[in-house]
Structure 1
């Protein structure tokens, strides 16, 4: 196979465009002798004559024109590669794999993906739903590039493997049956619901969050029913079976449920993103993190009554 040299092919291409060795040398900031030497070397590498003397000038041979005809496709592909590489360097292209807990997917990740499709269509996001422990295992193993979880479930900030990035404080609102006596009360406090039947999971992080929030308000919640999924919890609230704390990110409107923002002692859960240490500087990852922060800033409107 012939020894193709891109730099020398560019010199030959410029000679075709400029017409003389002197003009080619000026365009490429070379000396005429250097241009002639490079083209002589290219002719030797390809095994065909590329230039033919014509008085004081030179002209391209048919072989040189054949070479350039094929080289144009190479130049075109290299231009595309340069453009894509520049986009990658500036965070305009690349794939980012995201592992996220269930409620973060519709509330944060999907809006971020939608925004990126408009602002940076070259950045693709591949989403994998995963609870916190699994997400961090995937992150450590290199199977995802970014993990979203609750701060309470994330590795500590001292863990050298990861860099944590705060995203938002997700308020916990109270879900009440629409006909509940306190559904329209002014400045509802968590302590006002101390005597209620509470609905939350029998174990796990959400059980811990609910118990801790109520205890911080001065009472221990009586668990009337246990459920882990928000659809089941809100269905039971709608049926008048009890009340529940619901993160605003997870709230889904139901006709028979009123979501009330707490006026005092309002608990929150902190949502964080994490990347492997050093990876936050990767352009596409940084672009996704920036978009997630923007999405988080606008994600939480006040709950509807």
Structure 2
């Protein structure tokens, strides 16, 4: 395959534009002999004659015209590559692969992408759903560039593979059956629900969060039903079978049927929260595209 020398091709293109070796040398800040050497070297590399004498001037041969015809396409692609690279450096173009847990996608990721489509239309976000704990394995393997998770699932801060970044505080609300005696109460505290049947998982961080925040409010929740999926939890609440803590973000995925049967109330002064965090491979937090995505995620309003 022929070796193409872009520097020599630019010399040939300049000669075609200005007409003489002397003028090409002036345009390129070279000596005429250096221009001649570049063109002779290109002719030797390509194995064709590029110039022919024409009085005191030179003109391009048909072979040179053919070379320049294709070279213009190459130069145009390089210009586009330069523009794309500049956009990438500014965080305005390119691709960011984002791993996120399920409730974060409708509540945070989708609104963030919608905003970025307006402000940075050439920045492509590729979303991959993963469990809050699993997403760190994807990050370590290079399958995603940015991992959205919960502080409860994050590896220890001393893990040198990752840089952790705060994203959002997700308030925890209380889901009540629509006809519950406290559904229309003027104010509601967690302690008001001490005698209620509760719905939460048998194990895992969410079970721990529910029991911990209830104990902080002065009671141990009586578990009536065990469920971990938000749709299942809300269906049980809507059927009048108990109450449940639900993250504000989980409400973004609540369907119309659940909304009709469930009343979600904001708790008062003892309102608990969970913390949404992001992580990158150490050093990648400085990528401009990652910074754009993080800014968009942080700008989503949950309250």
Is the shorter-chain TM-score for this pair beyond 0.5, marking a shared fold?
A: yes
Separation in 2 of the partners of 1:157 and 1:273?
Answer: 12
Aligned to 2:270: 265
Residue by residue over 1:158-177, the C-alpha shift from the partner in whole angstroms, topping out at 9 and shown as x without a partner, is 22111111111100011112
Gaps of 5+ in 1: none
Matches within 5 A, 1:148-159: 148-159=148-159
Aligned residue for 1:132, secondary structure, equals coil
RMSD over aligned CA atoms reads 1.8
CA drift at 1:201: 1.1
Aligned to 1:294: 299
Separation in 2 of the partners of 1:3 and 1:270?
Answer: 56
Aligned residue for 1:181, secondary structure, equals coil
CA drift at 1:235: 1.7
Aligned to 2:184: 184
Aligned length: 298
CA drift at 1:110: 2.1
Separation in 2 of the partners of 1:232 and 1:49?
Answer: 77
Aligned to 1:11: 11
Separation in 1 of the partners of 2:115 and 2:34?
Answer: 51
Aligned residue for 1:187, secondary structure, equals coil
Gaps of 5+ in 2: none
CA drift at 1:12: 0.9
Aligned to 1:173: 173
**47-56 or 244-253, larger mean C-alpha shift:** 47-56
Separation in 2 of the partners of 1:78 and 1:178?
Answer: 62
Contact between 1:187 and 1:264, CA under 8 Å: does it hold in 2? no
TM-score computed with the length of structure 2 as normaliser: 0.91
CA drift at 1:47: 2.6
Aligned to 1:103: 103
CA drift at 1:143: 2.1
Contact between 1:188 and 1:264, CA under 8 Å: does it hold in 2? no
CA drift at 1:68: 1.2
Residue by residue over 1:36-74, the C-alpha shift from the partner in whole angstroms, topping out at 9 and shown as x without a partner, is 221122222223322233333222222222221222222
Aligned to 2:259: 254
Aligned to 1:209: 209
Aligned residue for 1:274, secondary structure, equals strand
Separation in 1 of the partners of 2:74 and 2:131?
Answer: 47
Separation in 2 of the partners of 1:142 and 1:40?
Answer: 47
CA drift at 1:215: 0.7
